[in-house]
Amino acid sequence: MSDAPTTALLAVNLGTPETPTAPAVRRYLAEFLSDPRVVSIPAILWKPLLYGLILPLRSGRSAQKYAQVWLPEGSPLAVYSRRLAQAMQQQLPQWRVREAMRYGEPALLKALDALAAEGMQRIVVLPLYPQYSTTTTASIEDRVQQWQARNPKVLVQTIRDYAEDPRWVAAVAASIADYWAQHGRGGKLVFSFHGIPQRVADAGDPYPQRCEASAKAIAAALGLASSDWELTYQSRFGRERWLQPYAEPRLWELAESGIQTLDVVCPGFATDCLETLEEVQMGFTETLTARGARMRYIPCLNDSSAHAAALATLATAQPA
């Protein structure tokens, strides 16, 4: 009787360029921004704008930003996703654990193919987006359903959301408490989630409600009063209205109100990446310093043992 695993956990993150160069960033952005779940403009209108204006303008600028946060082993998102999968493998010795990306490499569909070729009979897909959105998790679900239709003999289950999962909430809260124990507590804790267009939320996307649920659960686990914390949204793109309040302007207002030290955490991101390291840790800190305040960024859970244990438990809780 073989002891080889027949169940796999595939942790799927957003994706990243392979190198911090304009050509690599262009390839990555072309795939990312061509997903109709991300940009819902009809392709006949969007593609000329994307290839004629956006990619030529953004690729070089984004490459410079990636270069500022690049690790010796590669992109932070790729490095921490890989390490997180390895940490979960330690938690799940009877499973096979792999990581994949929705955009870029290791590609989601290729990872599913590889697991099937290795004899996996059941694959639990874990989108590394704690809060469900049609712009993120649903895109992974689309690809998984396409693959499942071609591979009916393999049972594939996708975890939709873990915004209020008690073990994940406890892990985030503990990471904040540990930071405060080492560095002291600031005047306000600000949750910064990645934004989405307001029209997407108006159309029924539950993402803002899921972000609010996460923030409230984490704040409750920390024993915070409502006046101790705030929820904001970052990474707005384009001119249309996105979820509000916008993170950076709100931080400016808090600084100008007299709060000298602001602590910022980004629990919508499983791993640190360009948006948390370059936009928040570097960018927000710089602009707040110019306003006479100090901002401290509390890192994502990344490959911490508490994160790996929480997500491994979440995966094993799925009914076979």
Query: Which residues are part of a known binding site?
Result: 194, 275
Contact indicator for 210, 285 with CB cutoff of 8 Å: no
Measuring CA to CA, which residue among 94, 92, 73 is closest to residue 83?
73
Three-state DSSP at 161 gives: coil
The region that residue 110 occupies, defined by phi over 0 for left and psi between -120 and 50 for alpha, beta otherwise, is alpha
CA 166/CA 306 separation, integer angstroms: 12
Long-range contacts of 58-65 (CB under 8 A, 24+ apart): 58/25, 58/29, 59/22, 59/23, 59/25, 59/26, 59/29, 60/22, 60/25, 62/25, 62/29, 62/274, 63/17, 63/20, 63/21, 63/22, 63/24, 63/25, 64/20, 65/274, 65/278
Structure tokens at 221: 């686990």
**From residue 96, how far is each of 115, 116, 129, 180, 250 by CA, in Å?**
8, 11, 21, 36, 43
Contact indicator for 7, 121 with CB cutoff of 8 Å: yes
CA 211/CA 205 separation, integer angstroms: 12
**Annotated binding site for Fe(2+), which residues?**
194, 275
Say what the alpha-carbon torsion angle 104, 311, 130, 43 is, to the nearest 10 degrees: 20
* Terminal Cα distance for the chain, rounded: 21
